[in-house]
C-alpha cells in the first residue's frame, strides 16, 4: 500500500474513514477517532497522497482527484471493503464526494466539514461564479476569496518555496481558531496574486507564536516534520488539476447526484469557504437527495477548534439517519 493510516476502535466495527485536507495529517482527527471508536466504530484516518508517510509523487498530475480516489479505493479494499461513512475536511471533502459520486456502493453516508459538494468538480471555474460580489466586487477581486487558488497556477514554484521557507511558522499560522471579526470582510486570501504571494516580499510566514495553536506540542512537531520531509510540492499540486478534476466529475453516474445520506457542517467564521453568508453551498443542495446541514461557530479548522461540537453533530445525524 502507498497509503499510511492510523486507526482506533474494534476491528469488526462499522467503518468510518476520515480524510484530511491542506496542509494536515490523519492524526488531526484524533478527537473524532477517539469519540467514535469508544462507541463501537472502526475509525481510520489516512495520510493523504503527498503527506506524511504516504506516497509523494513528483509529477503534479498525480494529484488529480481520479488518482487520489484510487488511493482511497485501495485503502478501502485493504480494510475489507464494507460500506463506510466517509468524513472529509478541506481537500478531503472533494475526495469523499468524488467517492460517493463514482463509488456509491462503498459509501453508507458522507460527512463534509467546510467544503461543500460541487458536482461539476471542485475547481476554480466552478467556484468563482458563486462568489459574493457584494463583498468581492469583480473589478477589485476577479476571483473573490479564491485569489490564492489562482496563485498556484500563476507561480506554482514560488508558492511551494514560500511555504517551505519556514514550515514551523506556517503551521502556527494555519492551525489557529477562527474569529467572528472576519465575517463580512474580504478574506486575505483574495489578495494573494496582487500581493505577489501569501507573504509578499518576506517570502515566508511570520512567527505568530503558539499561544492559540490548535495542536499539542507533539502534534505540532509531527506536523512540521511531515511537511518538511514531504515538502509542499505534493500538497500544492492538489490545486493545479482543475481540468482533469472537472473531466472526472463529468464522468460520474447520474450526473454526480448523491442518494446516500449527507451531512454538511458549516463553519461560521470560515472566511474562504464561506457557506453561511454566500451561495457556495447551493450546488450541493441541488445535488443531494438526503442532505442535513449543521452550523458551528468556528473557523476553518473546526474539528480541532470545536471537537465536541463536531462530534455531537455527527453523532446526532448518525442516530437520526439510523446509520
pLDDT single digits (tens) 50-95: 999 899 999 999 999 999 999 999 999 999 999 999 999 999 999 9
Mean pLDDT of 204-228: 95
Crossing angle for the helix pair 92-102 and 65-78, to the nearest 10 degrees: 70
Instruction: CATH number of the domain at 37, please.
Output: 3.40.50.1820
Instruction: Encode pLDDT of 19-33 as tens digits.
Output: 999 999 999 999 999
pLDDT for the residue numbered 307: 98
pLDDT for the residue numbered 188: 95
Q: How many domains in the chain?
A: 1
CA–CA dist 205, 248 (Å, integer): 34
CA–CA dist 150, 71 (Å, integer): 26
Contact between residue 282 and residue 131 where contact means Cβ atoms under 8 Å apart: no
Position 113 confidence tier, pLDDT thresholds 50, 70, 90? very high
Alpha carbon 73 to its chain centroid, in Å, reads 18
Q: Are strands 5-8 and 42-46 parallel, antiparallel or unpaired?
A: antiparallel
Beta bridge partners of 7: 44
1, pLDDT greater than 80:
no
User: Which range of residues forms the domain containing residue 42?
Assistant: 5-320
Please give the C-alpha separations between residue 155 and each of 26, 105, 143, 207, 243, in angstroms, as whole numbers.
28, 39, 16, 24, 18
| DSSP string covering 185-209 | S--GGGGTTTTTSTTGGG-S-----
Query: Assign residue 132 a region: left if phi > 0, alpha if psi is -120 to 50, beta otherwise?
Result: beta
Query: Assign residue 205 a region: left if phi > 0, alpha if psi is -120 to 50, beta otherwise?
Result: beta
97, pLDDT greater than 80:
yes
Between 219 and 1, the more confident residue is 219
CA–CA dist 61, 239 (Å, integer): 10
Write the CB contacts of 149 (distance below 8 Å, at least 6 apart in sequence): 124, 127, 143, 239
312, pLDDT greater than 90:
yes
Mean pLDDT of 211-228: 95
C-alpha closest to that of 150 among 189, 92, 93 = 189
pLDDT for the residue numbered 255: 96
pLDDT for the residue numbered 75: 98
CA–CA dist 184, 178 (Å, integer): 14
Helices of type H across the chain: 30-37, 65-78, 92-102, 124-127, 147-154, 156-164, 167-174, 217-230, 233-237, 242-250, 282-287, 302-305, 307-320
The three three-digit cell numbers of residue 191, written as one number: 489578495
Write the CB contacts of 242 (distance below 8 Å, at least 6 apart in sequence): 121, 123, 124, 125
Q: What is the mean pLDDT of the chain?
A: 97
Q: How many residues appear in the chain?
A: 323
The three three-digit cell numbers of residue 53, written as one number: 508517510
Amino acid at each position: 500500500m502507498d497509503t499510511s493510516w492510523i486507526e482506533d476502535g474494534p476491528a469488526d466495527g462499522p467503518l468510518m474513514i476520515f480524510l484530511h485536507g491542506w496542509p494536515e495529517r490523519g492524526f488531526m482527527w484524533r478527537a473524532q477517532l477517539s469519540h467514535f471508536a469508544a462507541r463501537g466504530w472502526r475509525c481510520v484516518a489516512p495520510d493523504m497522497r503527498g503527506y506524511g508517510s504516504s506516497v509523494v509523487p513528483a509529477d503534479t498530475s498525480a494529484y488529480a482527484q481520479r488518482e487520489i480516489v484510487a488511493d482511497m479505493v485501495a485503502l478501502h479494499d485493504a480494510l475489507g471493503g464494507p460500506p463506510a461513512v466517509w468524513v472529509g475536511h478541506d481537500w478531503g471533502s472533494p475526495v469523499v464526494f468524488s467517492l460517493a459520486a463514482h463509488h456509491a456502493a462503498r459509501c453508507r453516508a458522507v460527512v463534509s466539514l467546510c467544503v461543500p459538494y460541487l458536482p461539476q468538480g471542485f475547481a476554480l471555474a466552478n467556484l468563482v461564479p458563486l462568489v459574493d460580489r457584494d463583498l468581492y466586487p469583480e473589478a477589485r477581486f476577479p476571483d473573490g476569496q479564491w485569489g490564492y487558488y489562482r496563485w498556484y497556477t500563476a507561480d506554482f514554484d514560488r508558492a511551494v518555496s514560500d511555504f517551505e521557507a519556514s514550515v514551523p511558522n506556517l503551521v502556527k499560522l494555519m492551525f489557529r481558531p477562527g474569529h467572528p471579526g472576519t465575517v463580512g470582510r474580504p478574506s486575505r486570501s483574495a489578495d494573494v496574486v496582487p500581493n505577489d504571494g501569501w507573504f509578499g516580499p518576506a517570502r515566508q510566514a511570520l512567527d505568530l507564536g503558539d499561544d492559540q495553536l490548535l495542536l499539542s506540542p507533539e502534534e505540532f512537531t509531527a506536523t512540521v516534520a511531515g511537511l518538511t520531509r514531504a515538502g509542499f510540492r505534493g500538497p500544492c499540486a492538489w490545486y493545479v488539476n482543475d481540468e482533469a478534476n472537472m473531466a472526472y466529475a463529468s464522468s460520474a453516474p447520474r450526473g454526480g447526484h448523491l442518494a446516500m445520506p449527507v451531512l454538511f457542517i458549516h463553519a461560521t467564521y470560515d472566511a474562504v469557504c464561506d457557506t453561511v453568508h454566500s451561495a457556495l453551498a447551493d450546488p450541493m443542495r441541488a445535488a443531494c437527495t438526503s442532505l442535513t446541514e449543521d452550523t458551528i461557530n468556528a473557523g476553518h479548522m473546526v474539528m480541532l477548534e470545536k471537537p465536541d461540537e463536531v462530534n455531537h453533530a455527527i453523532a446526532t445525524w448518525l442516530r437520526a439517519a439510523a446509520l
